[in-house]
Amino acid sequence: MAQNETIYLAGGCFWGLEHALKMLDGVKETTVGYVNGQTADPDYEAVCSDTTGYKEAVKVIYDAQVITLEKILRAFFICIKPEQKDGQGYDTGTQYQTGVYYIDPQTAAVCARFFAAERLKHPAFFTELDAMHNFYPAETYHQDYLQKNPGGYCHISQHEFAAVKALNQEK
């Protein structure tokens, strides 16, 4: 029987992160959207205004019997540069701030341990770790964007996508 868990990951532009996470065995469902802002029911234009506090994020529902949270976090850190504040690649602004947002204390503890080890690898570290306070799905055209638009812009390199996919071979 599946044991589905949920985590919210903000990795810059949500298009590429969603595409990468869908490569992982055990990821059951993804939804791109906006996490931890101050307004109700934001849209893309409002989020891009740098006035709402929302970050572009991916809601990930995964089968904990198939994939561990640690492996999902490894994939996440393959895709981001935690040294970059308020942006990834050519995308800049508060909506592109990287972060991991949890909904239960057990997930928070796993994330805290993972973050402690990850911080040691970087001279600067701006990736947030916080509880998920609110999440609103993005507009339909953002869902599965790179699947529908394979030539679309993405800050995640083909090498990084391959590294994420290779995580499936690890036990």
Residues involved in catalysis? 13
CA atoms within 13 A on the CB side of 50: 8
| Distance of alpha carbon 80 from alpha carbon 88, whole angstroms | 7
SS3 112: helix
Q: Please say whether the beta carbons of 20 and 116 come within 8 A.
A: no
**b/e 10-28 (16+ beta carbons within 10 angstroms → b):** bbbbbbbbbbbbbebebbe
- Using DSSP, how many helices (H) and how many strands (E) does the chain show? 6, 8
Nearest by Cα to 166 from 81, 98, 74, 90:
74
| Distance of alpha carbon 24 from alpha carbon 28, whole angstroms | 9
